[in-house]
Structure 1
Amino acid sequence: MNDANSSMQLTRAADYAVRVMIHLVGRAGEGRVSLPTVAAATGAPESFLSKVLQALTRAGLLVSQRGQSGGFEVSPHGLKASMRDVIEAVDGPIHLNVCLTSGNACARQDWCPAHPVWVRAQEAMLAVLEAARIEELAFGEEKRKASSRSGFGLAGGIAVVPAGHACCRCGEVETR
């Protein structure tokens, strides 16, 4: 089988949407960001990204403003979004198999031995995506970038700041 044609992959739009949200949540409070700036930061083509941004705006995760001082910024709802919220804003509800789309989507589901496995897999995936908060990902990414720039490391996802150095987020100096 060709891995590139796997039906169990997120769409490119969903991938870009997650990148956009992580970027914009990380910049929350800094004002609107233009389409070219978002495209450059996420590595997404502007023409495709404009459709993703429209979907995120329609879902209430972003706020957009047209005009010379226009751009995109995360909404209060978007600040609390999960990866599931973002993916479903762009692609609609997530279903691993057609038998999970509605009660009567598959005539075999009442007796199919695979159906309970699909149900458990779907529930597990949705739980993981729901638990992954964009805000946590954005600030985790910020910490990873700061640690790589400063030469400080990460231990278990937490920035390790040597004694006597200022914390990357709050500026406090560790004195231990």
Structure 2
Amino acid sequence: MGFFSKTVEYAMRAVFYIASKSQDGQKVGIKEIAENINSPEHFLGKILQKLSRQGIILSVKGPNGGFYVDTKGLNRPIADIIIALEGDDIFTGCGLGLSYCSESNPCPLHNEFKKVRNQISHMLHITSIGEFNIELLNGTLTLNK
């Protein structure tokens, strides 16, 4: 079980995969991406459309087309992927999902969850999409079993 929704998990895996392939100018198709990140192709297609509309990834149609990430995209924070798909609630929301939880009206997990949430938020905002490319390409990190 992951911390993120399935949508965000597939999106991050896909963007990392696309970014690693874009390093040497490649463009990758949806079938290749889905196979390499263990994602259902149809669901992934919808995710990639949203990310493309937000400019996080780019696409080119045609026989030599596919998805890619440019230099600007490689430098964007991972948080942008989450925000593009689900907004910023993960960075501000209650750990129990309570709408009324706040500093003045905290839930039982509020103070401890806030610490963890802030650490995760910080990591996602300072870590760039392209930061893992070298390790993905040399096999130190993996997106598939």
Q: 1:46 to 1:81 in 2, by over 3 A?
A: same
- Structure with the bigger RCO (C-alpha within 8 Å, sep 6+) is 2
Q: Distance in 2 between matches of 1:30 and 1:118?
A: 41
Give structure 1 stretches of 5+ with no counterpart. Answer: 147-176
What is the aligned partner in structure 1 of residue 83 from structure 2? Answer: 88
Q: Distance in 2 between matches of 1:43 and 1:18?
A: 12
Q: How does 1:1-176 map to 2 (within 5 A)?
A: 9-28=3-22, 29-95=24-90, 98-99=93-94, 106=100, 109-112=103-106, 114-145=109-140
TM-score by length of 1: 0.64
- Percent sequence identity is 24
TM-score by length of 2: 0.75
Aligned residues: 136
Note the alpha carbon deviations across 1:46-104, whole angstroms, 9 max, x for none. Answer: 1011011112112211111223332111133321122222222222214267459xxxx
CA radius of gyration, larger in: 1
Q: 1:119 to 1:11 in 2, by over 3 A?
A: same
Give structure 2 stretches of 5+ with no counterpart. Answer: none
Instruction: Give the partner amino acid of 2:28.
Output: V
Q: Distance in 2 between matches of 1:94 and 1:108?
A: 13
Instruction: Give the partner amino acid of 2:4.
Output: L
Q: Distance in 1 between matches of 2:109 and 2:35?
A: 43
Measure how far apart 1:106 and its partner are.
2.0
